[in-house]
């Protein structure tokens, strides 16, 4: 089943081949016992490594069921993962938000227009609102975003680093 309006035939053979190689490389990092399968809890992490950022709701209700066999085992095979990821990456449905969208979100939180958000406030928001961050996700975010001297998150700098990473 291909996403509405997106046909794999519209992608070049080179794009498909290069994308398949990237998918295999990312998948293999998590397929530590070389069983050609990963546990379903790692699917979102692998997807994000490939540049697709679905919501947890979409991951659980749409993406995982499409990747699992009729009788879910808690694992996702490479063949099903690759097929679905090619569709997702071709459709760009779960591409990351733009820098402008991210900055607007941070500015909404920064009601006093200081240019930063305290890491304590950010941690509270990320663990109590919406889909809460897992401890490892929160740790990784703060490690990258938090200024070690002040403990604040200077969000324009953080977004600039994120956008630089996307353009590589």
At 108-164, the pLDDT tens digits run 999 999 999 999 999 999 999 887 888 888 888 899 899 999 999 999 999 888 887
- The H or E element that residue 47 is part of is helix 43-49
- For 18-51, the pLDDT digits (tens) are 999 999 999 999 999 999 999 988 999 899 889 8
Please give the Cα distance from 68 to 17 (Å, whole number): 23
The closest of 55, 156, 160, 147 to 105, measured between CA atoms, is 156
Alpha-carbon distance values, 130 to 24, 29, 71, 144 (Å): 32, 29, 30, 21
Q: Please state the pTM of the whole predicted model.
A: 0.65
pLDDT tens per residue, range 68-97: 866 668 899 999 999 999 999 999 888 877
């Amino acid at each position: 089943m291909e996403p509405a309006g997106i046909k794999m035939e519209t992608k070049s053979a080179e794009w498909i081949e290069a994308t398949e190689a990237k998918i295999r490389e990312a998948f293999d990092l998590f397929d530590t016992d070389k069983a050609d399968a990963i546990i379903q809890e790692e699917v979102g992490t692998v997807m994000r490594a490939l540049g697709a950022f679905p919501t947890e709701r979409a991951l659980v209700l749409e993406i995982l069921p499409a990747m699992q066999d009729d009788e879910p085992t808690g694992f996702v095979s490479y063949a099903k993962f690759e097929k679905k990821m090619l569709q997702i990456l071709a459709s760009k449905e779960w591409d990351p938000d733009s820098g402008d969208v991210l900055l607007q979100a941070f500015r909404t939180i920064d009601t006093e227009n200081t240019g930063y958000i305290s890491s304590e406030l950010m941690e509270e928001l990320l663990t109590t609102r919406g889909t809460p961050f897992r401890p490892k996700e929160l740790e990784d975010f703060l490690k990258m975003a938090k200024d070690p001297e002040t403990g604040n998150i200077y969000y324009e700098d953080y977004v600039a680093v994120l956008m630089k990473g996307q353009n590589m």
